[in-house]
Copies of this chain bind each other. A is one copy, B any other.
Amino acid sequence: MTVPISATAAQAHVSPLKVTPASPLFLREDEIRRGIELLYFGYTSMIRGADAILEAQGLGRAHHRSLYFIARRPGLSVGELISLLGITKQSLGRVLNDLGHRELVEQRVGVADRRQRLLTLTASGAALEARLFTELERSMARAYGEAGQQAVTGFWAVLMGLVPPADRPQVEALQS
């Protein structure tokens, strides 16, 4: 964590970042397009920060996503990770093989169901994930700080609204 865990950090910016506010006619095409574009540029800006670290390790974004979710939910099964990432078993297989051979991820046999392989990070895997997380966090914490607490709540609400209702429980479940 590069950000102190204190309320004063949240108050570092007394005046939130000014953006043109949404108008009462906020479903007009212009305002829809503004959301599409900001979502595209915001998303790509955030993840770009981790790319240099990944490239130095010979890894890609697919590896990062797996590391991230294994860090977030230690002991999740291969099937759960496939479901979160929305990719096929074959696609994930190669990524997990890479991460296993580099000793960044370990598998244990499931306790309740011995067919399952439960995924955890090794010490070096956790260290790498922490470095990658710090990059994302730097970007996100700056954005949160500039926009302010109330804006963050709105940010979450719109993003959750983009997720099809059927998929929302899975996203909510990531919150501990």
Contacts and interface: CB of A to CB of B under 8 A. Distances in A.
Interface of A: 1, 3, 5-7, 9-10, 16-17, 19-46, 65, 68, 72, 86, 133, 136-137, 139-164, 167, 171, 174-176
Nearest to A154: B154
B26 A144 contact: yes
A158 to B, nearest CB: 4
A129 B25 CA distance: 23
Contacts of A146: 157, 161
Query: For chain A, what secondary structure do more than half of its interface residues adopt (helix, strand, loop), or is it mixed?
Result: helix
A141 B150 CA distance: 21
Given A10-B26, A140-B35, A154-B154, A161 B174 contact: no
A159 B146 CA distance: 10
Contacts of A176: 30
B150 A162 contact: no
A31 B158 contact: no
Contact of A156 (B19, B28, B149): B19
Contacts of A147: 154, 157-158, 160-161
A159 B39 contact: yes
Given A25-B7, A27-B10, A42-B39, A162 B140 contact: yes
